[in-house]
Amino acid sequence: MRHDSPMTDTAQPLLEIRNLAVDFRTTYGNVSAVKDASLSLAEGQTLAIVGESGSGKSTTAMAAIGLLPRNGGVSSGSILFDGEELVGMPEARMRRIRGRQIGLVPQDPMSNLNPVTRIGTQVAETLLVHGMATPRNVEARVVETLEAAGLPDARERARQYPHEFSGGMRQRALIAIGLACRPRLLIADEPTSALDVTVQRTILDQIDRMTEELGTAVLLITHDLGLAAERAEQLVVMHRGRVVEAGPAEQLLEDPGHPYTQALVKAAPSVAAVRLQPGAYAASIGERTMHAEEGFAVTPDGQRPNAVRPNAVRPNAVATEAASRVQGLGNIVELRDLTKAYKIRGRAEEFYAARNVTLEVPRGSTVALVGESGSGKTTTARMLLKLIEPTSGSMTFDGMDVASLGKEQLREFRQRVQPVFQDPYSSLNPMFTIGRIIEEPLSTYKRGNARERDARVRELMDQVALPHSMLRRYPSELSGGQRQRVAIARALALKPELLVCDEPVSALDVLVQAQILKLLGDLQAELGLSYLFISHDLAVVRLISDYVCVMKDGELVEAASSEEVFTNPRHPYTRRLLASIPGNELEIYDDDPDIAS
């Protein structure tokens, strides 16, 4: 966190927003997205705006840089930048400020970089348009700018296209573009929301270094409270278009005054929390949703999990009624030395996406597979789902050899094992209604007649807490959390025994994330489900998992109970992952002093 530019009563703010209101014109009339919002940001200071999707935080920031959609506009209020009014400013003047004095790092690096233009060309365009380079020296300036953003081999990278970059590298390219003109204010809109914790920390450290060197103020838009408190001096909380609370970041986390801020803090996952036992949740997010009893740290025979066998997760007592019904029935999944290798054109050696992965999923429990992008966790899950074939090793499900399943056995396997993918929008057919999406597996596998299938669909809607009125809607008409509930309902349609959840909450806001985690836990308690839960978010994993398997470069480097991994991590990589979580050492508000938060 930067403390070099405290705001004083006499200092003129670099950015001051007063009583801002932003409306959008729709076919149903005007929609008010921001209402009476005010904030101020000093020179060299970092201010974070937090809130869930639809709270108005990004709209406020886009209004400040004059990039609202065509159907949007400022209906009232004032936006002052260095004392100059931006509302109503002619576009020609605004273009001179945008980029040169106010930079932007947008949220999605892939959609905000031109896929058919080289990275260097895109940086050069910014430099040339704003007079920061000449045609003669622009190539050298591009290399210098990319190097400043932390990209290695900048001259070579400048010749590449966005699809040849990893997510972290693309985000660095956007940082380079946003800071290329040495702006006085940088707007960073969810700059790390799709990145792993270690890459996230690297990117945020890079932004800190560059903005400190330039004396640039930062307006950080995020839904991550820990990140906001760690990186910003001031915090503004928005809810339904209004600023509901503002003040010093750490103070707001430790002692939030508004009920919405309190709900955000309580719902935020933390590595300091304990395992949420399925079924032991509060009745709603407004109550104490994210706390439960202490988890177990030993196996039934009294041994510590790490002392059993390397690269394996062993069964352990699960303190829920549902788990007790299946406890003692062994493992539902066993992977032994599972390996996936790819041949690379022009190279003799093979690339190992997964190598010698050995783990077990005890019935009725949740095993989390964690690691950075490229660690092999999704590859492992795709092999288990029979979406890709392993190069070597074995997989068993309920004692059956998955690799040798015949056509009919495979059909049965796919009914008993179902996936829940990361992006609920791309995994749901946009042309189907919600009712048809959930009913499709039942029709495909000829489960019941039309009336029975309709009854089952309605039962599933009840299970995931969605109203029946949504059955006639389409995915585009639902929020991210509602779409993820639909994806879970579809996965449950055939009454599977195992759900493979691939980053199911990584794209969701903290309150919606808490609701989905609660739902998964309650369903596990009710139905006795087993989960293989894939995530790069260790705070989420801490809340939902009984066991944790840590992967790095395709190999399993640590495997033990959740309690063991989070309180006594053995591998340096696991310790590095834990240390990279933003805000993991902050003390946060807790309205119940008897329960650790």
Q: Could you report the per-residue pLDDT of 274-324, keeping only the tens digit for each? A: 555 544 333 332 332 222 222 222 233 333 333 223 333 333 333 344 444
Considering the domain architecture, whether residues 480 and 570 belong to the same structural domain is answered as no
Is residue 389 over pLDDT 90? yes
The mean pLDDT value for 499-526 works out to: 85
Is residue 384 over pLDDT 60? yes
In a domain, 520, yes or no: yes
The mean pLDDT value for 561-574 works out to: 91
The whole-number pLDDT of residue 3 equals 46
Q: Residue 506 sits in a domain of what CATH number? A: 3.40.50.300
Angle between helices 510-527 and 480-492 (to 10 degrees): 20
- pLDDT band per the 50, 70, 90 thresholds, residue 328: low
**pLDDT per position as a tens digit, 41-94:** 999 999 999 988 778 998 999 999 999 988 899 999 999 999 999 999 999 999
Mean pLDDT of the chain: 82
Distance CA 6, CA 4 (A): 6
The whole-number pLDDT of residue 478 equals 82
The alpha carbon dihedral of 371, 376, 380, 381 has a sign of: positive
Task: Judge whether 498 and 417 are in contact, CB under 8 Å.
Answer: yes
Considering the domain architecture, whether residues 467 and 477 belong to the same structural domain is answered as yes
Considering the domain architecture, whether residues 376 and 292 belong to the same structural domain is answered as yes
For the purposes of burial, counting CB atoms within 10 Å of the CB of 345, is it exposed (0-12), middle (13-18) or buried (19 or more)? exposed
Is residue 14 over pLDDT 90? yes
CA torsion 154→582→367→528, rounded to 10°? -130
In a domain, 296, yes or no: yes
Task: Judge whether 290 and 514 are in contact, CB under 8 Å.
Answer: yes
Considering the domain architecture, whether residues 363 and 320 belong to the same structural domain is answered as yes
The whole-number pLDDT of residue 321 equals 45
Task: Judge whether 332 and 398 are in contact, CB under 8 Å.
Answer: yes
In a domain, 434, yes or no: yes
The whole-number pLDDT of residue 587 equals 52
Considering the domain architecture, whether residues 384 and 512 belong to the same structural domain is answered as yes
Q: What angle do CA 389, 336, 403 make, to 5 degrees?
A: 35
Main-chain dihedrals φ then ψ at residue 13, nearest 5 degrees: -65, 145
Considering the domain architecture, whether residues 393 and 509 belong to the same structural domain is answered as yes
The mean pLDDT value for 255-275 works out to: 75
Q: Where does 364-446 show beta strands of DSSP type E? A: 366-370, 392-397, 400-401, 417-420
Considering the domain architecture, whether residues 327 and 434 belong to the same structural domain is answered as no
Residue type, 40: S
**pLDDT per position as a tens digit, 445-461:** 999 999 999 999 999 99
Facing residues of 418 across strands? 499
The whole-number pLDDT of residue 248 equals 92
Considering the domain architecture, whether residues 478 and 549 belong to the same structural domain is answered as no
The whole-number pLDDT of residue 7 equals 44
Domain of residue 482 covers: 426-496
Q: Where does 82-169 show beta strands of DSSP type E? A: 84-85, 102-105
| Domain-terminating residue out of 443, 469, 496 | 496
Considering the domain architecture, whether residues 560 and 473 belong to the same structural domain is answered as no
Considering the domain architecture, whether residues 393 and 519 belong to the same structural domain is answered as yes
In a domain, 559, yes or no: yes
Considering the domain architecture, whether residues 390 and 502 belong to the same structural domain is answered as yes
In a domain, 92, yes or no: no
Proportion of the chain above pLDDT 70, given as a percent: 84
The whole-number pLDDT of residue 80 equals 96
| Domain-terminating residue out of 496, 530, 554 | 496
In a domain, 529, yes or no: yes
- pLDDT band per the 50, 70, 90 thresholds, residue 194: low
Distances (CA, A) of 44 to 7, 94, 147: 9, 22, 22
Considering the domain architecture, whether residues 479 and 571 belong to the same structural domain is answered as no
Facing residues of 512 across strands? none
Q: Total structural domains in the chain? A: 2
When mean pLDDT is compared across 212-216, 339-343, 397-401, the lowest value belongs to 212-216
The whole-number pLDDT of residue 420 equals 92
Task: Judge whether 342 and 354 are in contact, CB under 8 Å.
Answer: no
Is residue 408 over pLDDT 70? yes
The whole-number pLDDT of residue 589 equals 53
In a domain, 21, yes or no: no
The whole-number pLDDT of residue 49 equals 95
Is residue 164 over pLDDT 60? yes
The continuous run of DSSP H or E covering 254 comes out as helix 249-254
Distance CA 597, CA 324 (A): 27
Is residue 140 over pLDDT 90? yes
In a domain, 533, yes or no: yes
The residue with tokens 């065509």 is: 70
Distance CA 452, CA 458 (A): 10
- pLDDT band per the 50, 70, 90 thresholds, residue 552: very high
| Domain-terminating residue out of 496, 517, 541 | 496
Residue type, 131: G
